[in-house]
Amino acid sequence: MSKNQSENKTRNLIIAMLSMLLVVLLDQITKFWAVTNLTNVPPPTQETERFFMFTLVYNDGGAMGTSLGSSTYYLISSSLILLFVLYYAYINRDKRSFIFPLALISGGAIGNIIDRVRIGKVIDFIDVDFFDINLFGYVLKRWWTFNIADAAISCSIVFLILHLIFSKENEKNDELSGSTMPKEEIPNPPSG
């Protein structure tokens, strides 16, 4: 490995760690704000609901209203997943398109783990009304309340999925065109 590659990997790790810490910090600061300012605010009624509002909710389940076990189950499973994501980020530290979203996922996981360790539940407060969902009898009139950690995790997962889909599509196109080299590395044909 060249010195330049080593420096790039180190730089990527530093940027990833700073990004992860930023998510944790923003998550915890906004949760502190939510608990301080929304604790005695009555929950919204159908008449007071707006597209975007702040509603304090303590979630002892998982993402999107799942309830697969106790808060301890979610603490243990999210800690194990965090270790896997951190390991995967480390071994892919030369790929910015992976390490940055993995850092945001890690920061989100840490933010929610802090809540579970501290109070046994996750603090959610961002309340948004997206389109209604009616799927096989399951009806969702309002989106699940979430926090900064959840947003970092969800957006990063969507980015990774789209990146994987389109990078696979680019590989297929390269294979079909008979070249596996990136376009900027394809030599020009000789002239004359």
**pLDDT tens digit sequence for 32-53:** 999 999 998 877 766 566 778 8
- The β-bridge partners of 124 are 57
190 pLDDT tier (thresholds 50, 70, 90): low
Q: Is pLDDT above 60 for 129?
A: yes
- Span 99-108, average pLDDT: 96
Q: Is pLDDT above 90 for 8?
A: no
Helix %, strand %, coil % of the chain (to 5): 60, 10, 30
Q: How far is residue 121's CA from residue 117's CA, in Å, rounded to a whole number?
A: 8
Residue 151 pLDDT: 96
In the annotation, is 124 catalytic?
yes
Domain boundaries, the chain: 8-42+50-185
Helix axes 71-91, 96-119, angle to 10 degrees: 160
Residue 23 pLDDT: 98
Q: How far is residue 43's CA from residue 18's CA, in Å, rounded to a whole number?
A: 36
Q: Which of 27, 115, 127, 150 is catalytic?
A: 150
- Span 154-164, average pLDDT: 94
Residue 144 pLDDT: 81
- Span 4-33, average pLDDT: 94
Least confident of 49-53, 54-58, 152-156: 49-53
- The β-bridge partners of 128 are 52
Q: How far is residue 39's CA from residue 119's CA, in Å, rounded to a whole number?
A: 15
Q: 36-50 b/e with 16+ CB inside 10 Å = b? A: eebeeeeeeeeeeee
Q: Which residues contact 16 (CB under 8 A, 6 or more apart)?
A: 89, 93, 99, 100, 102, 103
Calculate the average pLDDT of the chain: 84
pTM: 0.78
Gyration radius of the chain's alpha carbons: 21
Q: Which of 27, 115, 124, 127 is catalytic?
A: 124
